[in-house]
Amino acid sequence: MAEAPLRVALGCLGSPFGVRGWVHVRSYTDPPEEVLDYPLWHLEAPGGGPQTLRLVEGRRHGKGVVARLDGVEDREAAARLARREFWIERSEMPVLPPGQFYRVDLEGLTAVNLQGRVLGRVDHFVDAPANPVMVVVGDAEHWLPLVPGLIRQLDQECGRVIVDWDPDF
């Protein structure tokens, strides 16, 4: 059985935005501004321990997102956060309706096609221009486009995902 992750990366803090402590945010969510739905962002402090920052406000800016975090009052403080990935606890994510899933819940599962052939392990995802792609690594590497109908069954307890995919494609 694949273990569900305890924390889920939401994005990476970027360069300062202005002089009042705002930062650019490289969001891993889709749409990008969805990252602003989570009020507490966890990251590694410079000394290596955990640090939690509270989101004060944020907004879409161009193709990205900018945010102001509690305790980050000026450009210098914002600059110290640059290039640091942040996450939330998995338990903080909303429960999805049946038939929907988070990508992170698929990572590490064994991908099996409708004919019962094991394709490999779900390794990661790539956001391609047309649609996201699930990368499955086994005897070969399979790039499966996340299109409607691809994922037929998700069984986290057994650690597998059933996909409608021809491995010879």
pTM of the model: 0.72
pLDDT < 50: residue spans in the chain = 1
Q: Which residues form the domain of 82?
A: 7-91
From residue 8, alpha-carbon distances to 50, 96, 102, 114, 127 in Å are 14, 15, 10, 29, 17
The answer to the question of residue 2 being in a domain is: no
State pLDDT tens for residues 79-120. Answer: 999 999 999 998 888 888 888 888 888 999 999 999 999 999
pLDDT of residue 1: 47
Residues 11 and 72 in one domain: yes
The answer to the question of residue 19 being in a domain is: yes
Residues 73 and 12 in one domain: yes
